Amino acid sequence: MKRLFFLIIIFFCLYFISLQAQNLEEILKSHSKVMGFEKLKGIETITIIGENYLGTQKIPFKTIIKKPSKYYHERIFMGNEWIQVLDEDKAWSLNPMNGISDIYGSQLAILKKSREYGGILFKKEEKGLSVILDGTELIEEKKVFKLKVTDQDTLITDVLMDAKSFYIIKQSTKRVFQGDTITATILFSNYRVIDGIAVAFKTETISDKLIDEDESRKLGGGVMEIKSIEFNKPIDESIFIKPKKKW
Lowest-pLDDT choice from 39-43, 121-125, 126-130, 151-155: 151-155
| Gyration radius (Cα) of the chain, Å | 21
Lowest-pLDDT choice from 30-39, 72-81, 216-225: 216-225
At residue 112, what is the residue type? K
pLDDT higher than threshold 50 for residue 15: no
Domain-located, residue 211: yes
pLDDT at 179: 65
CATH code, 114: 2.50.20.10
Provide the whole-model pTM.
Answer: 0.82
**Domain count for the chain:** 1
Lowest-pLDDT choice from 22-26, 64-68, 179-183: 179-183
Domain-located, residue 82: yes
Name which of 244, 237, 247 is nearest 67 in CA terms: 237
Give Cα 166 to chain centroid, integer Å: 16
Domain-located, residue 9: yes
**Alpha helix ranges (H) inside 94-156:** 105-114, 124-127
Could you list the residue range(s) of the whole structural domain that residue 67 is in?
2-240
Domain-located, residue 247: no
pLDDT at 4: 46
C-alpha distances (whole Å) from 235 to each of 81, 94, 230, 238, 239 are 20, 20, 11, 9, 9
Domain-located, residue 181: yes
pLDDT higher than threshold 60 for residue 210: no
pLDDT higher than threshold 70 for residue 177: no
Domain-located, residue 191: yes
Domain-located, residue 119: yes
**How many C-alpha atoms does 196 have within 13 Å on its Cβ side?**
12
Q: What end-to-end distance do the CA atoms of the chain give, in Å?
A: 83
Domain-located, residue 212: yes
Average pLDDT over residues 109-117: 83
Q: Do 240 and 87 contact (CB within 8 A), yes or no? A: yes
Distance CA 218, CA 183 (A): 11
pLDDT higher than threshold 50 for residue 45: yes
pLDDT at 209: 59
In terms of pLDDT, which residue wins out, 203 or 139? 203
**How many C-alpha atoms does 146 have within 13 Å on its Cβ side?**
9
